[in-house]
């Protein structure tokens, strides 16, 4: 089991995109396996569906925000830390770099389909390391949010200081937590780069996570706009 | 097909079904699809990825939960009519204990029974088989979803054993009572555990819903169009969509409540409260905000509990009447309409909380509008039985019982939907009667119907008919005897949640009715042991079941009982018919399997 069967590897390279279900990679407790194309489509549907409850959580927070704001005189509009503008730029940039990483992997996958001729080294698509760059940008965003919280805390603004502050910490915190989840997935994908023949899995994780990541970027812009314009 | 023969071989060797082993040797090529079932005990029964094992795990979780919930209700019934009695283990039930019982009975029944068994239990087991898939779309997520539910249940039970015990603010957890730890025993750590448990449950349900939806959209076999899916699958699918949109909102509400309790925020707690002689520091929050968030989840939750039962009832009424379901498309659209309207009516739970009459009017109209799709379903069920050659097997009895309870419980809905009437009835036993009949017992009848119907497929043996019929009649008459008089109590003005009836003068004349209800509860609860005995006895000693004992048409009845590890032994089924081809004119048998090719022209 542990030894790598070369013919199996080749099979694996040939499989992809719309092929009928076929047997490969038989781990996972013996469940039947599907082609890469099947699994990619399935995972994309799953991710698209999974975004709905994430959206619902923030819809619920938003409605609470609006209702609570309209309730009484105790609501004090808060000055948002300036660093949020920089963080926003970083996150939007990370969305772009992740998209580049995703497209790079798709291209690489297409090249991997080309049967390798004996004696000829496989062609490696040369591109910038977009995935690690995205990781750094993602971490940068989280660090920036951390700094924003620290800045507020030094001004004596805590979660219980005022309902507007409560919502600020709630919304930014919940978003950061979701983003950290995406970051873990990308870190996993980047780590698989170290393993041979793992491009399938890497491409899958990056592809599906990129949907999530773009959603997180849009969600952040929405939260930022809400906090900025509905003080 | 390509080779990866070594893996295909292992699959053949490990397959537990001898009959198939013979077959697979002849079809070694197609066998490449099929894979070995895990052989270790832990991977096979504990951390299994097989949707069938996970379905059974959910079912047993719900079975344990329903007995815990039933035990709590028994204690309540005893306390109501024998207030001073000293019970073994429990001691004397004080008013606050009564409220704890009430809270935990509701919570456990709604989440761990009514949400768990019909959707996660049966849905997990039969949805993939009925649509011709080898498993759910995401098996690992499926396993994770079950074990998160399990953890959630353990955390919920743990609330009984911490200092102060479990919370007493009702399963709806209205603040400020639920938001202030000093508000009563159980409102401290017990309440925090309640919120954490429900948050875990939300996560598990969302994982499950995501899995169900992807499975239905992406895993259907060739020929299994959406409009050829059995109504059970439609019900599970729409239920999953409801869960997907509703549980996130409950989760959000739970987070806000947890912050109010532990981080000093004031989302739900108004200012100027004095609790136990102490001025509460919070200010400016709104308890109504919680009610809106909670019921935005809470009303769809009612349909999460009942829709799978409707699916099972449709399936069974058609099968046992030997007739196609009356108005298949109308049934599908009615399920969707009920699901959609379910998101627009949450305000009818809050007429009493104070609301602009115009909003109340809107919620009232929307609520009554649900009567339309509900009536479509009911009339179609009756139309299905009408002039059928009805076989009154045990599952059919429970399916008919489901329709009966759905009508009886549903008819009180339009009364409660009117704000003026609701103001009088809302805090009385009338509402208790209404939701127990329609959401509680009707859904439970759906579970029973499903159990008696699918037991042969799940465990390869038939359940005992005599015990099953006795169980049906005791439960059917028993539940009516319990909940029908509660309507009368409600109309007479008997408030709900009152723990000590003997000290309330105006309730004295109603105590005989309460006594009658308690006696009926004793008998009904005792009858449930018939079911448990039948269940476990049949599991080991029941008559061996054939592949298709009910002569039904859907895909689960084309595979051995119990089905092999990947359901179809590596051969993907091809579907040629709709799910309810019974008594087709000109056909040889009175049922046409979905996989049969000729027989009748394809629809």
Contact: A64, B267; criterion CB under 8 Å: yes
- Interface predicted TM-score (ipTM): 0.90
Judged by a CB distance cut-off of 8 A, whether residue A12 touches chain B is no
pLDDT tens digit sequence for B178-235: 999 999 999 999 999 999 999 999 999 999 999 999 999 999 999 999 999 999 999 9
Q: Measured between CA atoms, how close is B200 to chain A, in angstroms?
A: 14
Comparing B16-20, B385-389, B546-550, the range with the smallest average pLDDT is B16-20
- Quick one: average pLDDT of A81-106? 95
- What DSSP assignment string belongs to B475-533? HHHHHHHHHHHHHHHHHTT-BTT---GGG-GGGGGGHHHHHHHHHHHHHHHHHHHHHHH
Which tokens belong to B229?
């899916």
- Quick one: average pLDDT of B151-164? 96
Contact: A54, B1; criterion CB under 8 Å: no
Judge residue B411's burial from the number of C-beta atoms within 10 Å of its C-beta, 0-12 exposed, 13-18 middle, 19 or more buried: middle
If you average pLDDT over every residue of chain A, what do you get? 82
Banded pLDDT at B237 (limits 50, 70, 90): very high
Judged by a CB distance cut-off of 8 A, whether residue A82 touches chain B is no
pLDDT of B258 above 50:
yes
CA distance B204 to B209: 9
Best CA proximity match to B284, nearest among A73, A158, A77: A73
If you average pLDDT over every residue of chain B, what do you get? 91
CA distance B482 to A172: 50
Q: Which residue has the higher pLDDT, B470 or A2?
A: B470
Q: Pick the residue of A6, A56, A158 with the most B CBs within 10 A to test the interface with B by mutation.
A: A56
Chain A residues within an 8 Å CB radius of B50: 29
Best CA proximity match to B482, nearest among B528, B446, B451, B447: B528
Q: Measured between CA atoms, how close is A80 to chain B, in angstroms?
A: 19
* Length reported for chain A: 231
pLDDT of residue B599: 54
pLDDT of residue B14: 40
Q: Measured between CA atoms, how close is A124 to chain B, in angstroms?
A: 27
- Quick one: average pLDDT of B136-140? 96
Q: Pick the residue of B132, B217, B238, B248 with the most A CBs within 10 A to test the interface with A by mutation.
A: B248
pLDDT of residue B45: 84
pLDDT tens digit sequence for B82-95: 998 888 888 889 99
- DSSP summary character for residue A80: P
Contact: B248, A11; criterion CB under 8 Å: no
pLDDT of residue A108: 78
Cα→Cα distances B117→A202, B66, B336, B501, Å: 37, 10, 21, 34
pLDDT of residue A35: 85
DSSP SS3 for B441: helix
Of the options 1.10.1140.10, 1.20.120.80, 1.10.3720.10, 1.10.1760.20, the CATH number for the domain spanning A6-229? 1.20.120.80
B251 with B196: CB under 8 angstroms?
A: no
Tokens 């108004």 map to which residue? Answer: B270
User: Considering chain B, what percentage of its residues have pLDDT values greater than 70?
Assistant: 93
B216 with B131: CB under 8 angstroms?
A: yes
Chain A residues within an 8 Å CB radius of B285: 68, 71, 163
- Quick one: average pLDDT of B550-574? 92
Best CA proximity match to A131, nearest among A68, A188, A55: A188
pLDDT of residue A169: 97
Which tokens belong to B362?
């809107």
pLDDT of residue B600: 52
Contact: B248, A32; criterion CB under 8 Å: no
Chain B residues within an 8 Å CB radius of A32: 33-35, 134-135, 566, 570
- Quick one: average pLDDT of B469-479? 98
Contact: B214, A33; criterion CB under 8 Å: no
Chain B residues within an 8 Å CB radius of A59: 248-249
pLDDT of A76 above 80:
yes
Contact: A64, B293; criterion CB under 8 Å: yes
pLDDT tens digit sequence for B500-538: 999 999 999 999 999 999 999 999 999 999 999 999 999
pLDDT tens digit sequence for B25-53: 333 333 334 456 777 888 888 899 999 99
pLDDT of residue A121: 54
DSSP SS3 for B279: strand
pLDDT of A55 above 90:
yes
Q: Pick the residue of A49, A71, A163 with the most B CBs within 10 A to test the interface with B by mutation.
A: A49
Q: Measured between CA atoms, how close is B378 to chain A, in angstroms?
A: 32
Chain A residues within an 8 Å CB radius of B296: 60
pLDDT tens digit sequence for B105-133: 999 999 999 999 999 999 999 999 999 99
Judged by a CB distance cut-off of 8 A, whether residue A67 touches chain B is yes
pLDDT of residue A120: 55
pLDDT tens digit sequence for B591-603: 999 999 865 554 4
pLDDT tens digit sequence for A111-154: 766 655 555 555 555 577 899 999 999 999 999 999 999 999 99
Q: Count of CB contacts below 8 A, A vs B?
A: 153
Contact: B566, A59; criterion CB under 8 Å: no
pLDDT of residue A113: 62
pLDDT of residue A7: 37
pLDDT of B401 above 70:
yes
Tokens 């397959």 map to which residue? Answer: B15
Domains in chain B: ranges and CATH: 37-270+279-285 (1.20.210.10), 308-498+509-537 (1.20.210.10), 542-603 (no CATH)
Cα angle: B170, vertex B189, B286; to 5 degrees = 55
Contact: B285, A71; criterion CB under 8 Å: yes
Judged by a CB distance cut-off of 8 A, whether residue A159 touches chain B is yes
pLDDT of residue A125: 52
């Amino acid at each position: 089991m542990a030894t790598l069967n070369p013919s199996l590897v080749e099979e694996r390279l040939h499989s992809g995109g719309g092929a009928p279900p076929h047997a490969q990679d038989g781990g996972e407790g013996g469940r039947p396996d599907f082609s890469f194309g099947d699994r990619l489509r399935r995972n994309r549907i799953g991710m698209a569906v999974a975004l709905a409850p994430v959206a619902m959580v923030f819809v619920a927070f938003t409605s609470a925000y609006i209702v609570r704001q309209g309730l009484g005189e105790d609501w004090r509009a808060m000055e948002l830390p300036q660093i949020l503008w920089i963080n926003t730029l970083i996150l939007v940039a990370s969305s772009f770099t992740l998209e580049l990483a995703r497209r790079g992997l798709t291209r690489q996958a297409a090249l991997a389909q080309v049967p390798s001729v004996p004696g000829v080294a496989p062609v490696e698509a040369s591109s910038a390391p977009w995935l690690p760059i995205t990781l750094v940008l993602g971490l940068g965003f989280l660090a920036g949010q951390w700094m924003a919280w620290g800045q507020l805390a030094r001004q004596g603004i805590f979660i219980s200081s005022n309902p507007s502050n409560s919502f600020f910490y709630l919304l930014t915190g919940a978003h950061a937590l979701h983003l950290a989840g995406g970051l873990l997935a990308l870190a996993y994908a980047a780590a698989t780069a170290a393993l041979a023949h793992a491009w399938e899995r890497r491409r899958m994780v990056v592809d599906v996570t990129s949907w999530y990541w773009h959603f997180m970027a849009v969600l952040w812009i929405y939260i930022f706009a809400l906090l900025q314009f509905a003080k | 097909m390509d080779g990866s023969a070594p893996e295909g071989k292992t699959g053949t060797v490990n397959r537990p079904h001898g009959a198939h082993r013979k077959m697979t040797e002849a079809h070694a090529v197609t066998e490449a699809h099929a894979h070995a079932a895990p052989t270790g005990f832990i991977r096979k029964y504990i951390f299994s990825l097989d949707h069938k094992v996970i379905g059974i795990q959910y079912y047993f979780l719900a079975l344990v939960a329903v007995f815990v919930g039933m035990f709590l209700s028994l204690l309540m019934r005893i306390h109501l009519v024998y207030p001073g009695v000293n019970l073994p283990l429990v001691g004397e039930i004080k008013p606050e204990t009564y409220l704890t019982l009430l809270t935990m009975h509701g919570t456990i029944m709604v989440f761990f029974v009514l949400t768990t068994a019909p959707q996660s239990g049966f849905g997990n087991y039969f949805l993939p088989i009925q649509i011709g898939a080898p498993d759910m779309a995401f098996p690992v997520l499926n396993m994770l979803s079950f074990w998160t539910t399990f953890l959630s249940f353990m955390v919920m039970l743990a609330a009984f054993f911490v200092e102060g015990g479990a919370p007493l603010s009702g399963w709806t957890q209205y603040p400020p009572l639920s938001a202030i730890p000093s508000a009563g025993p159980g409102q401290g750590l017990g309440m925090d555990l309640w919120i954490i448990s429900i948050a875990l449950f939300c996560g598990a349900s969302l994982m499950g819903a995501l899995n169900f939806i992807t499975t239905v959209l992406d895993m259907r076999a060739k020929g299994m169009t959406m409009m050829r899916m059995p109504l059970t699958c439609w019900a599970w699918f729409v239920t999953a969509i409801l869960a997907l949109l509703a549980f996130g909102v409950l989760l959000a509400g739970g987070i806000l409540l947890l912050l109010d309790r532990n981080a000093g925020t004031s989302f739900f707690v108004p200012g100027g409260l004095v609790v136990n002689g102490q001025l509460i520091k919070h200010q400016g929050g709104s308890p109504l905000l919680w009610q809106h968030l909670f019921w935005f989840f809470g009303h769809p939750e009612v349909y999460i509990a009942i829709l799978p039962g409707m699916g099972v009832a449709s399936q069974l009424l058609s099968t046992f009447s030997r007739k196609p379901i009356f108005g298949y498309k109308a049934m599908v659209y009615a399920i969707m309409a009920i699901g959609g309207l379910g998101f627009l009516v949450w305000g009818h739970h809050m007429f009493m909380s104070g609301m602009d009459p115009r909003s109340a009017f809107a919620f009232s109209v929307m609520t009554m509008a649900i009567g339309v799709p509900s009536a479509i379903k009911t009339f179609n069920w009756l139309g299905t039985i009408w002039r059928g050659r009805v076989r009154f097997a045990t599952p059919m009895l429970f399916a008919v019982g489901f329709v009966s309870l759905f009508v009886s419980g549903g008819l009180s809905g339009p009364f409660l939907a009117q704000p003026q009437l609701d103001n009088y009835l809302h805090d009385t036993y009338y509402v208790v009667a209404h939701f127990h009949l329609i959401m509680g017992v009707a859904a439970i009848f759906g579970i029973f119907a499903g159990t008696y119907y699918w037991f042969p497929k799940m465990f390869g043996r038939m359940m005992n008919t005599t015990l099953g019929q006795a169980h049906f009649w005791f439960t059917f008459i028993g539940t009516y005897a319990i909940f029908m008089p509660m309507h009368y109590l409600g109309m007479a003005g008997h408030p709900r949640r009152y723990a000590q009836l003997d000290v309330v003068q105006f309730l004295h004349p109603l105590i005989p009715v309460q006594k009658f209800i308690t006696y009926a509860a004793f008998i009904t609860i005792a009858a449930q042991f018939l079911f448990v005995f039948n269940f476990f006895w049949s599991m080991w000693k029941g008559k061996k079941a054939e592949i298709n004992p009910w002569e039904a048409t859907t895909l689960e009845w084309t595979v051995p009982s119990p089905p092999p590890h990947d359901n179809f032994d590596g051969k993907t089924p091809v579907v040629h018919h709709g799910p309810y081809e019974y008594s087709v004119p000109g056909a040889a048998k009175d049922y046409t399997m979905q996989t049969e090719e000729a027989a009748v022209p394809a629809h």
